[in-house]
Amino acid sequence: MIRNSTMSFKRIFHKIFLKGRILFPRVLRFPMLLRVYFPWIIRHPRILPTLARLASGYLHSKRIREEELKRGLKVPPFLIISITSQCNLQCAGCYAAATGTIQKNQGSKSLNLEEWRKIIYEATELGVFGFIIAGGEPFLKHDLLKLSEEFNDRLFLIFTNGTLLKSSDYNRLRRIRNTIVIVSIEGDPETTDRRRGMGVYKKAIATIQKLGRSGVISGISVTIDRQNYKYWMRPENIDALIAKEVHLGFFLEYIPVNDDVALMLKSEEREKFRKTVLNYRETKQIFLIHSPGDEEYMGGCVSAGRGFVHITPTGDLTPCPVSNIATHNLTTSSLRDALKSPLFKLIRENEHLLETEGMPCALFAHPKEVAELVKQVGGYIASDACRNKMI
């Protein structure tokens, strides 16, 4: 009886993910997802209707994107939304603060929830499937989860510092099921608290554990630098997270702010770390995404509409969260018109701009060329915080 039920779950799970072929490149698709998440789904079978709905939503959005591309519009499958400019932490080396996404004063007004709802609605009509919610700290946005409740055939990933979730948030997340919560940590308590503030590690881990007990899919996001990359190369540290029901991880290499390159991985360190990530993929029950390492599977950087675009808290449409350059603001332009940006088109067509060239970010590696493109198309810097860096 148990064997028959297991095989039934496996067939359903296979059908959902094989048909869906979610965004990831072929080498990262079904076999790895099945190995990682099949045991979890056996323990949480109520997720199956949501997975079927998401698979259907993905196929529908894919067809729309294909039709739009025939008409000349490149629509990315994912949209990164910096939903608020406010944050309760002051993390060292925060690129969101360096680019002006995070604002300590109230002079820069973030879009309200209804404005974001209208943007997400238009995005779904254009074929966007997934929404990555960042900030600032997303859980400072009142009634944040209303968005994923309304658009329940779309995938939402919320990147949070894990210090502000309330009991009502866990209850809603348990119910809506189309939302994955990604909690930021840096490594051990000392490393995390040094960058994020005293006591943050304890709160973040408590949030991860509570998400696991609530049956909510969760993951971690780590800024990989020279101070913590060896920590994550030790298998026992990955195993400890897997034991807490963490089966998804984002390893994002440190992007220098204020020209501080001391923490950036050296080439030999990056190579060792990359080999470790690839080994974990084959041997651990965790699905890992490594940037910029995985971009080699995707033909280079996936910003500027190749895989995603980014919206600032005030509505500027930028190629990605760390390149705060724009030609359109969504308070005065439709998303359709903004995606036609000549800036995005030029970035996609200049293939060398998509190569990292030993840096953790492709566009960061070509500041002069990018600045020239901004001038060429009459673009602007979305925040004064990075004006001197880009033009």
pLDDT of residue 31: 62
Q: What are phi and psi of 184, to 5 degrees?
A: -85, 125
3-state SS track over the chain: CHHHHHHHHHHHHHHHHHHHCCCCCHHHCHHHHHHHHHHHHHHCHHHHHHHHHHHHHHHHHHHHHHHHHHCCCCCCCEEEEECCCCCCCCCCCCHHHHCCCCCCCCCCCCCCHHHHHHHHHHHHHHCCCEEEEECCCHHHCCCCCHHHHHCCCCEEEEEECCCCCCHHHHHHHHHHCCEEEEEECCCCHHHHHHHHCCCHHHHHHHHHHHHHHCCCCEEEEEEECCCCHHHHCCHHHHHHHHCCCEEEEEEEECCCCCCCCCCCCCHHHHHHHHHHHHHHHHHCCCEEEEECHHHHHHCCCCCCCCCEEEECCCCEEECECCECEECCECCCCCHHHHHCCHHHHHHHHCHHHHCCCCCCCCCCCCHHHHHHHHHHHCCEECCHHHHHHHC
Residues 6+ apart with CB under 8 A from 261: none
Contact status, residue 108 vs residue 331, Cβ threshold 8 Å:
no
- The two structure tokens encoding residue 17: 């993910």
pLDDT of residue 382: 86
pTM for the model: 0.90
pLDDT of residue 108: 57
> Cα separations (Å) of 13 from 6, 9, 35, 234?
10, 6, 11, 31
Peptide bond into 77 cis (omega under 30): no
Peptide bond into 187 cis (omega under 30): no
Taking Cα atoms as reference points, which of 160, 137, 142, 132 lies closest to residue 84?
137
Residue with tokens 């949209």: 79
Give the number of C-alpha atoms closer than 13 A to the C-alpha of residue 343, restricted to the C-beta side: 30
- The two structure tokens encoding residue 370: 């990018």
pLDDT of residue 143: 95
Contact status, residue 62 vs residue 127, Cβ threshold 8 Å:
yes
* Residues listed for the chain: 391
pLDDT of residue 387: 39
pLDDT of residue 11: 56
CA 3 to chain centre: 37
**What's the pLDDT tens digit per position in 140-183?**
999 999 999 999 999 999 999 999 999 999 999 999 999 999 99
pLDDT of residue 197: 95
Helices 2-20 and 48-70, packing angle to 10 deg: 20
pLDDT of residue 146: 97
Written as tens digits, the pLDDT of the chain (391 aa) is: 444 544 454 554 455 444 444 444 444 445 677 778 888 888 999 999 998 999 899 999 999 999 999 999 999 999 999 999 999 998 888 878 777 777 766 545 789 999 999 999 999 999 999 999 998 999 999 999 999 999 999 999 999 999 999 999 999 999 999 999 999 999 999 999 999 999 999 999 999 999 999 999 999 999 999 999 999 999 999 999 999 999 999 999 998 877 678 899 999 999 999 999 999 999 999 999 999 888 877 777 888 899 999 999 999 999 998 888 999 999 999 999 999 999 999 989 887 777 766 777 777 767 788 888 899 999 998 864 443 344 4
pLDDT of residue 36: 86
pLDDT of residue 16: 47
